[in-house]
Amino acid sequence: MKWMFWCMPHAYNWYPSVLVNGSKQSENDPGHVTMEGNSICLTTGLTSAISVGVDTFDVPRIAHHKVLARLKLDKKKPRHFCGIEKKATSCIHVLDKVYAMRARTPTSDGMSGVSFRKIGQDEIRSNLLWDKMFQVFGIDRERATHANNYIEKNLLAILKDNLAGQCSHLKGRLCEKSKKNVQALIDAAAVKAVEVRQGKQE
């Protein structure tokens, strides 16, 4: 083989409590973990390898959300040849039983999947997912709790810093869409901050 891709379409997603519950549920709240299945290759789970002597320009440049469909199609109508001979062959290996890890936080560049939302989860399933997080990624509740508390305490500042950095490399519609997502979160976070202050005064 000249080159090959490995693709993880599925992930554990970690959300700060302020995005899914409005605020942390206790001082020891580590945040919220979910499992998500996808039909595309995630950027966190996409890897490529190149054989010695192969020019990097021989490896196709395909967006992460298109690479799986494009290389699967190559089996029928080849446009890219990863083998020594120019014939249809599998150039991507899908790791269906291996999960990537993504933190869906307001520090995100593209802000995909980052918004205020309600995600229900029973305690038993939550405990099982946190056990898995530690077994697979070495992420324990204590460190997650620290990150969760920090994000809630500094949410507005983090969002404003994110907004200032938008479009440093994104252009056109992608830039405007991402800025709009961040601004919507800033507006919602400001409203929530007022509600919290009013609640404390009462």
pLDDT of 194 reads 59
Specify the pLDDT at position 123.
79
Helix H or strand E encompassing 132: helix 123-137
Question: Considering the entire predicted model, what is its pTM?
Answer: 0.76
User: What is residue 145's predicted lDDT score, i.e. its pLDDT?
Assistant: 94
**Res 88: pLDDT:** 63
pLDDT of residue 10: 92
10-residue averages of pLDDT along the chain (202 residues): 92 87 78 88 89 90 88 75 75 89 81 71 83 92 93 87 74 73 80 60 54
Contacts of 156 (CB under 8 A, 6+ apart): 186, 189, 190, 193
- Rounded Cα gap, residues 89 and 106, in angstroms: 41
**Residue 6: strand, helix, or coil:** strand
Count the neighbouring beta carbons within 10 Å of the beta carbon of residue 11: 19
| 104, 15 Cβ separation under 8 angstroms | yes
* Amino acid identity at 49: A
Radius of gyration of the chain, Cα coordinates, nearest whole angstrom: 21
CB within 8 A of 55, min separation 6: which ones? none
